Structures are given as C-alpha cells and as structure tokens.
Amino acid sequence: MAQGLVRRDFAWLQPLRGTVSDIVVFGCWDDGETDRQCHEAYALLRVLHASRATVVDREAAFIGNARAWYQEARARQPRWFDSWVVEFVVTDMAGEAPELRSNAYDLAYCSGVLFFMQSEPRKLQAAVNTMARVVSPGGWIIACEDPGLPSLFKGVGLLKTDRPDGAPEYAYCYRKAGATDRPESDSAAATKTPLARV
Ligand SMILES: C[S@@+](CC[C@H](N)C(=O)[O-])C[C@H]1O[C@@H](n2cnc3c(N)ncnc32)[C@H](O)[C@@H]1O
C-alpha cells in the first residue's frame, strides 16, 4: 500500500470517528519528492471513516502534483480510495480564501503550516481565522504545530478540547462553538469541551 494511505500516523484521532464526514486539509507540500507526497488527507479519510476531503495549498505546483498523483493512483488502484471524493484547491489560507465555503467542513486540519507564518502575526491569525470560518458549528479544528499558538484560537469562537491520547505534543485541538455553546473568549473559565462532540 502506498505510504500515504496507511492509517497509523493518525490513529490518535480515532475518537473523532463518527463525527467527521467532510475534511479540509491545509498545506500538502507535494513538491514532487516522494517523501513529501500529499498524504494527510488520505490517512485522515481512512482513520476517521470520512467520505470527502479538500486539499488546500497556496502553491499551484504542489496542488498540481497532488492532483496528478491522486488521479493516476485512483485509476490504477481504485480500491485504495473507497468511494472518497477528493478535491484540490489552490488558495492562500492567510488571505480571503474565497474558494472555501464557510461553515462547510467537519474538520479543518493542518500540520507544520502555521509554523511557517510565525514571523508574520497577522497572516498567522488570518490563517487560523480561515480554519475557524470554514468549519461548521460543532466541527473540529486541529493544528499540529509548535508551542505558543493557543492565543490565536481564542476570540474566534473556538472551544478548547482535551487532546486525545497519543496526540503529538503540540496538537492544538479545538471545536467551533455550536448554537448552544459559549465561545472560550466569553468565559473566564475557558470551559474545556470533552472530546466527544455534542
Ligand atoms: C511544511 S509543509 C506541510 C507539510 C505537510 N503538512 C506534511 O506534514 O507533510 C507546509 C505547506 O503549507 C503550505 N502553505 C504555507 N503557507 C500557506 C498558506 N498561507 N496557505 C496555504 N498553504 C500554505 C506550503 O506551500 C506547504 O505546502
């Protein structure tokens, strides 16, 4: 099986299974080197038993490589891909990102993407805002990054959740407030939401 389709790297996200159908993954890094092949979307689809993924990168060449690999691999080995629907979008998550619908995804995920914006605080916040915008109320925002980012998630209607067992040390796990929740910024107690989604 292709390296990118194995599920073990993301097993710690299994507690979200059953709550996630539609995923958006930011930053695919597919520059043509085999060890940097776009892989996260497929692993997430498999481990979460989800059905749709949207892969986003601001680099058109990376998205072109990722789409080409997907089309070719799917044509050769359709059983690897179940009935998944996978889309590829070129856009800057630190900009308006109008290609991405608001309140549309059950999970917005990134790993090693926000890290590269740390010297540009406005861009960094805008990128987090995009993740928050595109997730539907009650949906998840998960960012595996470096220390020091929690303040970015406050004030954009996100609720902190417990990190699942086995999560990477700096996995930021949040949930977008649903109609009955109070966002973290509204509560001095910063109510922690259990991992099981309401
Ligand atoms: C280090 S790579 C991420 C690697 C990938 N998450 C992984 O672990 O294999 C960072 C990726 O984020 C993308 N990226 C950086 N800033 C971005 C932005 N503002 N909007 C969209 N993609 C961005 C880069 O083009 C690159 O593909």
Residue with CA nearest ligand 1 atom 15: 113
- Pairing between strand 105-111 and 52-57? unpaired
* CB of residue 62 inside a 6 A radius of ligand 1: yes
Contacts of 198 (CB under 8 A, 6+ apart): 138, 178, 180, 181
Domains of the chain, first to last: 3-186 (3.40.50.150)
Please provide the size of the chain in residues: 198
Strands in 22-26's sheet, in edge-to-edge order, are: 85-90, 52-57, 22-26, 105-111, 135-144, 171-176, 158-160
Report the residue among 69, 113, 120 best suited for mutation to probe ligand 1: largest number of ligand atoms under 8 A from its CB. Answer: 113
Residue with CA nearest ligand 1 atom 12: 27
3-state secondary structure of 81: helix
Residue with CA nearest ligand 1 atom 22: 57
* CB of residue 58 inside a 6 A radius of ligand 1: yes
pTM, two decimals, is 0.90
Residue with CA nearest ligand 1 atom 4: 29
The DSSP secondary structure of 152-192, one letter per residue, reads: HHTTTTEEEBPPPTT--TTEEEEEE--TT---GGG-TT-PP
Q: How far is the CA of 117 from the centre of ligand 1 (A)?
A: 10
**Inter-residue contact 151 to 185 (CB < 8 Å):** no
Q: How far is the CA of 160 from the centre of ligand 1 (A)?
A: 24
Measured distance CA(98)–CA(90) in Å, rounded: 11
* CB of residue 28 inside a 6 A radius of ligand 1: yes
Q: Look up tokens 């998840």; give the residue.
A: 140
User: What pLDDT does residue 14 have?
Assistant: 96
Q: pLDDT of the chain along its 198 residues, tens only? A: 454 555 568 999 999 999 999 999 999 999 988 778 899 999 999 999 999 999 999 999 999 999 999 999 999 999 999 999 999 999 999 999 999 999 999 999 999 999 999 899 999 999 999 999 999 999 999 999 988 887 888 878 799 999 999 999 899 999 999 866 655 544 433 344 445 443
Q: For 198, what's the count of Cα atoms within 13 Å in the CB-facing half-sphere?
A: 15
Residue with CA nearest ligand 1 atom 1: 112
* CB of residue 29 inside a 6 A radius of ligand 1: yes
Q: Closest Cα partner for 77 from 2, 18, 15?
A: 2
Q: Closest Cα partner for 98 from 106, 89, 107?
A: 89
Q: How far is the CA of 131 from the centre of ligand 1 (A)?
A: 14
Q: How far is the CA of 107 from the centre of ligand 1 (A)?
A: 17
